[in-house]
């Protein structure tokens, strides 16, 4: 672990909080403590109440007043999403002015302030995102941009970082954001250990779109095709024959080929290419060598990898388009 400094992680608990927005990142910081990180955790109320009820109906107690704390550069604050009728209410901004002023001061102090899902609205109302890059849940992108025209909204990113300000697209991406921050604080090996502990298959980064290809083409109910997709995603380093894939899901190769295309809208080969491209781009962006990436994606030569990437240059970070 490269960082032995003590940190504090604060989690705002607004009324009707989206439970996973808060609980996901909070659990990762709990696991980080179990692995030796020194992180002190606090749960803050948006108002004077020491108890709130989540949008799922679960009561959350022992909340602390935000005014009791001053944050610094070793501190992180997570602002989770809340029900839209609250931040769309005419009196939301006026009602929470004291918190917005406090939030501005913590930003000036250099603390890391992070929004999950519609928590971006809270940061935007406080003016933190004026002239800054950010993102929010895809459902609210158009409304958010209209309401906060000074923001530099990214419409197809899971995580956006601008200085000490972080934002994530929603729900599960808050977990990705927590891992992203743990990697910044303690290094990639430590973050990988935490990801493995909570059984996260593939950690996403700030370069990834809101809908990863590992999640796309899954909006169907055919369990056999889901199994085939899982097998492909988990064996990118191997050259699977269609006969092996079909046998694994108890189908004939011809029937699997036909049903896969009918169910997902793309062929097995095209789907496999997409998986390999996304995995390759992630590994290259993380600094992996081309030989390592080629092997991880099931190619026998670097030229095979380069040929595939040239077909998908729009998917690549600019530094890999040469």
Q: What is the mean pLDDT, run by run of 10 residues, along the chain of 322 residues?
A: 79 93 94 94 90 91 95 97 94 95 97 96 97 93 96 87 92 85 86 79 52 64 85 88 94 95 92 88 82 89 85 56 49
Q: Which residues, other chains included, contact 220 with Cβ-Cβ below 8 Å and sequence gap of 6+? A: 226, 263, 264
Give pLDDT, residue 233: 86
Exposed, middle or buried, 268 (CB in 10 Å: 0-12/13-18/19+)?
Answer: buried
Distances (CA, A) of 259 to 224, 249, 255, 268, 305: 9, 12, 6, 10, 28
Give pLDDT, residue 172: 78
The 3-state secondary structure of the chain, one letter per residue? CCCCCCEEEEEEECCCECHHHHHHHHHHHHHHHHCCCCEEEEEEECCCCCCEECCCCCEECCCEEHHHCCCCCCEEEEECCECHHHHCCCCHHHHCHHHHHHHHHHHHCCCEEEEECCHHHHHHHCCCCCCCEECCCHHHHHHHHHHCCCCEECCCCCEEEECCEEEECCCCHHHHHHHHHHHHHHCHHHHHHHHHHCCCCCCCCCCCCCCCCCCCCCCCCCHHHHHHHHHHHHCCCCCCCHHHHHHHCCCCHHHHHHHHHHHHCCCHHHHHHHHHHHHHHHHHHCCCCHHHHHHHCCCCCHHHHHHHHHCCHHHCCHHHCC
For residues 170 and 157, the answer to whether their CB atoms sit within 8 Å is no
Give this prediction's pTM.
0.66
Q: Which residues, other chains included, contact 210 with Cβ-Cβ below 8 Å and sequence gap of 6+? A: 135, 138, 156, 157, 158, 169, 170, 173
Question: What is d(CA 267, CA 271) in angstroms, rounded to the nearest whole number?
Answer: 6
The residue count for the chain? 322
Q: In this structure, what token pair is assigned to residue 65?
A: 């007043």
Cα end-to-end distance, the chain, whole Å: 35
Half-sphere exposure of 77 (CA within 13 A, CB side): 30
Pick left, alpha or beta for residue 162 (phi over 0 → left; psi -120 to 50 → alpha; otherwise beta). Answer: beta
Give pLDDT, residue 287: 80
Sequence-distant contacts of 87-92: CB under 8 A, at least 24 apart: 87/118, 87/121, 87/122, 87/125, 92/125
Domains annotated for the chain, with CATH where assigned, are 7-197 (3.40.50.880), 223-320 (1.10.10.60)
């Amino acid at each position: 672990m490269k960082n032995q400094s003590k940190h504090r992680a604060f989690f705002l608990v607004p009324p009707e909080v989206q439970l996973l927005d808060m609980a996901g990142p909070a659990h990762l910081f709990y696991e980080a403590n179990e692995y030796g990180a020194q992180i002190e955790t606090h749960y803050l109320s948006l108002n004077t109440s020491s108890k709130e009820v989540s949008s799922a109906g679960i009561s959350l107690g022992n909340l602390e007043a935000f005014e009791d704390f001053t944050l610094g550069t070793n501190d992180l604050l997570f602002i989770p999403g809340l029900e839209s009728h609250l931040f769309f209410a005419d009196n939301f901004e006026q009602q929470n002015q004291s918190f917005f002023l406090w939030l501005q001061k913590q930003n000036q102090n250099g603390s890391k302030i992070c929004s999950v899902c519609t928590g971006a609205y809270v940061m935007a109302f406080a003016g933190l995102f004026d002239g800054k890059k950010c993102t929010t849940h895809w459902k609210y992108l158009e409304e958010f941009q209209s309401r906060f025209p000074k923001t530099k909204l990214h419409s197809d990113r899971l995580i956006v970082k601008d200085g000490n300000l972080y934002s994530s697209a929603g729900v599960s991406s808050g977990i990705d954001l927590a891992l992203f921050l743990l990697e910044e604080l303690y290094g990639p090996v430590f973050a990988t250990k935490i990801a493995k502990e909570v059984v996260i298959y593939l950690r996403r980064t700030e370069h990834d779109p809101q809908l990863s290809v590992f999640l796309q083409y899954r909006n169907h109910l055919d369990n056999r095709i889901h199994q085939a997709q899982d097998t492909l995603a988990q064996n990118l380093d191997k050259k699977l024959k269609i006969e092996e894939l079909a046998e694994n899901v108890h189908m004939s190769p011809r029937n699997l080929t036909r049903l896969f295309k009918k169910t997902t809208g793309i062929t097995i080969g095209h789907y496999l290419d997409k998986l390999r491209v996304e995995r390759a781009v992630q590994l290259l962006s993380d600094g992996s060598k081309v030989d390592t990436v080629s092997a991880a994606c099931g190619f026998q030569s670097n030229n095979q990898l380069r040929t595939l990437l040239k077909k998908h240059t729009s998917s690549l970070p600019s530094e890999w388009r040469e």
